[in-house]
Chains A and B, each alone.
Chain A
Amino acid sequence: MAITARPEVISLAGGLPDTSTFPPDTFAAVTTGIARHSCAKALQYGPTEGLAETKECIQQVMAAEGMHVDPGHMIVTTGGQQVIDLVTKTLIDPGDVIIAEAPTYPGAVPTFCSYQAEVVQVDVDSDGMRIDLLEQMLDRLEGEGRRPKFVYTIPTFQNPAGVTMSLERRQCLVQVARERELLILEDNPYGMLRYEGETLPTLRALDRGVYVMYLGTFSKILSPGIRLGWVAAPPAVLEKINLGKQAADLCTSTLSQLMVQAYFERGRWRDYVDSLTELYRARRDTMLDALAEFFPPEAQWTRPCGGLFVWVTLPDFIDTTDLLARALRENVAFVPGEAAYLDGRGRNEMRLNFSACSEDDLREGVRRIGKVVAEQVALYGTLTGEHRVVRAPAEEAPAEDAAVADVVPIKRRASR
């Protein structure tokens, strides 16, 4: 058990969905049904690309997000994480370039590194990846005679930054991919968890699967424990991914695939997603309210329209890895921002998750972090001789001013 997993610690560090709301009776009925009617099949190997009946469920989910995919153009995987692994394994030779967002999903970093990819990061702002910077980067790489193998992006409710790529940038990115014949890996675990605003078309929907490899998962809309994700990709790439999948684990758990199928057969999956959306919306609001109440005015944070995360930027003299040591003494945990970068940036940033804790715990957790941040800000004031006094939280002006808060200021630390 890690130190952040001690029971007395309120962990805002995970990325865990809430599964407590999943009805145990449904779970029991689904598993009993499989035991009664498909026991032999459930306990047997399955085809590498996945069961046809599971692919039908995937088609339903993708259709709900505006995409229509032929079952032959997808592979069922062991969670979405396996897609990142398989795509990297398929496309990357040591030294090849992958372009990712800055910050990027911390869980992708070890995967990219284990295949010795060179990861180049392109900044995001409140409208997602900066496509102008991406193009500059592509030009620069081209000048060096290097061609990135793919662009890795989480355009919707990004992990960790919580921001969403605007429609204009989506169209622009798809066009850049077409012009430069560049593959994109679109990671979309949270797309259905929207708490406000209009649904935007996925990159896959805009590009119709020519250059976009699409990663989906049941982890956030049903359960991460069943380890079920999928990739929809252009046929040439898919063939290679299939070979990689055979080598990795032959096939995805047949039992899990049948569970999803049985669950979808009941026809209530959208209702469950709706109930999650309602639950998480309230939790997001609680976290944003608590941030406004308990964080000192020197802090800034994103205001996500969906997903699971808020990204906080602190004054650049605070190192969040060190801050975590202090926070753990207050029995609260978060993810230090450094994990989302490969170049040492993000040291004054942190990721907070709002899906896994009750509203009471969220409020208390944010209060505790706000307390240590305020202490550090005040201490820094005395260390520099400025004797800065931090106002009591109750007197603080809400830092929720949209113009300020709805921005991801990702800047290099001046002192580094």
Chain B
Amino acid sequence: MSRVAVLKGGTSLERQVSLRSGARVEDALERLGHVVVSVDAGADLIERLREASPDVAFVALHGRDGEDGTVQELLEILGIPYTGSPVLASALASDKVVTKHLMVDAGIPTPDFFAFNETAFKELGAADALPAMAERLDFPIVVKPARQGSALGIKFARTPADVPAALLAAFSYDGKVLLERHVHGRDLAVSILDREEGPVTLPIVEAVPLEEDFFDFEARYEIGRTTFECPAALPDETAARAAEIALAVYRLLGCSGFARVDLMYDEQAGELFVLELNTIPGLTETSLLPQAAEAAGIDFDALVGRILQHAFERRAAAAG
């Protein structure tokens, strides 16, 4: 059995979720017979990893540093195989703007958008372009930080007057923000797991808000205000199309191991749109990817075991 360093916590705003993901992964690894070294990713990360000299690192970090390629780069330098996506895929996926540009170029549907960084407003007078932008996107629009998970800093702008405060909130999380057309529709998550035969999609999870207020964006993520259905009740061809699109994004970004792709399904138009891809989706008791795996008959221990195994396979393939 292997000696596994579980990287969790860190200093991102998603620290608490990561601690829960990490703790659950540790339990699973122990049940699978591995030796677990728990590492809270802080200033002594390198020292701790050198001390532990693990066979492999299970990266259970979310958000800044843990999910954006920073920690992955450090693991490459130390020569430690690790779970999940490599450096470039992590860096690409953690930036919603870059991801969306790549998708547009590859013909993968994503809602229309514009992106700005802070200096565009501070130094280039971008505010003067806001009316023209508003005209082209149609309200309502969603304003998001380019690099931030867990729906933090995401605001809804119903009219042009809402835009400055929404931008201000988004800029609190990142120097680059995204203004995106709001797709009125169903909220789908397609989870992907790299199996021996290659990446496969798991049953689709739908987030169903309990109250029909689609404009209260933040509330949709509050506990008790959303239920999750898995598998989502979708026509076969729609589910197949969503899976196909999700896999296309996964391959486009060069992901590895596992990931979750979030999509919106506009039922009336019959269209699917990709919002983003998470390279390290939550692994807590209530997270979507474990739910999807469960629905496919893969229990949590098997899921963790498979993700770990893939880290070794990737290393072997790279060496071979």
Chain A residues near B (Cβ < 8 Å): 2-3, 6, 317-319, 322-323, 325-326, 328, 376, 378-380, 382-385, 415
Contacts and interface: CB of A to CB of B under 8 A. Distances in A.
A3 B173 CA distance: 15
Given A322-B173, A382-B127, A385-B127, A317 B165 contact: yes
Given A6-B11, A385-B128, A380 B152 contact: no
B271 interface: no
B165 A379 contact: no
Interface string B159-170: 001111101111
Interface in B32-54: none
Contacts of B12: 3
B176 to A, nearest CB: 13
Nearest to A326: B172
B60 to A, nearest CB: 16
Contacts of B16: 2-3
Contacts of B169: 319, 322
B161 A380 contact: no
Nearest to A385: B127
A415 B165 CA distance: 9
A379 B171 contact: yes
B168 to A, nearest CB: 5
Interface in B219-248: none
Contact of A3 (B13, B127, B153, B167): B13
B59 to A, nearest CB: 18
Contacts of B11: 3, 6
Contacts of A379: 118, 121-122, 168, 171
B122 A319 contact: no
Contact of B165 (A319, A325, A378): A319
A376 B168 contact: yes
B100 interface: no
Q: Indicate the member of A319, A322, A328, A384 with the most B CB atoms within 10 Å.
A: A322
Given A379-B118, A382-B122, A322 B167 contact: no
A325 B13 contact: yes
Determine the main DSSP class of B at the interface with A: helix
Given A3-B13, A382-B127, A325 B172 contact: yes
Nearest to B43: A8
B15 A3 contact: yes
Nearest to B116: A383
A383 B161 contact: no
Nearest to A378: B122
Contact of A383 (B121, B152, B173): B121
A375 to B, nearest CB: 9
Closest 3 A/B residue pairs (Cβ): A322-B172, A383-B164, A385-B127
Contacts of A380: 164-165, 168
A317 B161 CA distance: 11
18 contacts: A3-B11, A3-B12, A3-B16, A317-B168, A323-B172, A325-B172, A379-B118, A379-B171, A380-B168, A382-B121, A383-B121, A383-B163, A383-B168, A384-B127, A385-B127, A385-B128, A415-B161, A415-B162
A382 B120 CA distance: 10
A383 B167 contact: yes
A325 B155 CA distance: 15
Given A3-B15, A380-B168, 19 more contacts: A3-B12, A317-B165, A319-B168, A322-B168, A322-B173, A325-B152, A325-B153, A325-B173, A328-B13, A379-B168, A380-B165, A382-B122, A382-B127, A383-B121, A383-B130, A383-B168, A384-B127, A385-B128, A415-B161
A194 to B, nearest CB: 37
Contacts of A385: 125, 127-128, 130
A317 B168 CA distance: 8
Contacts of B125: 382, 385
Nearest to B148: A325
B300 to A, nearest CB: 26
A314 B153 CA distance: 18
Contacts of B128: 385
Contacts of B161: 415
Q: Indicate the member of B11, B152, B170 with the most A CB atoms within 10 Å.
A: B11
Contacts of A376: 168, 171-172
Nearest to A377: B168
A8 B79 CA distance: 30
Contacts of A383: 121, 127, 130, 163-164, 167-168
A298 to B, nearest CB: 13
Q: Indicate the member of A317, A318, A382 with the most B CB atoms within 10 Å.
A: A382
Contacts of A318: 168
A6 B16 CA distance: 13
Contacts of A323: 172
A383 B13 CA distance: 25
Interface in B113-170: 118, 121-122, 125, 127-128, 130, 152-153, 161-165, 167-170
Nearest to B218: A321
A318 B168 CA distance: 7
Contacts of B121: 379, 382-383
Contacts of B122: 378-379, 382
B286 to A, nearest CB: 20
Contacts of A328: 13
Nearest to B167: A383
B142 to A, nearest CB: 15
A317 B15 contact: no
A378 B125 CA distance: 13
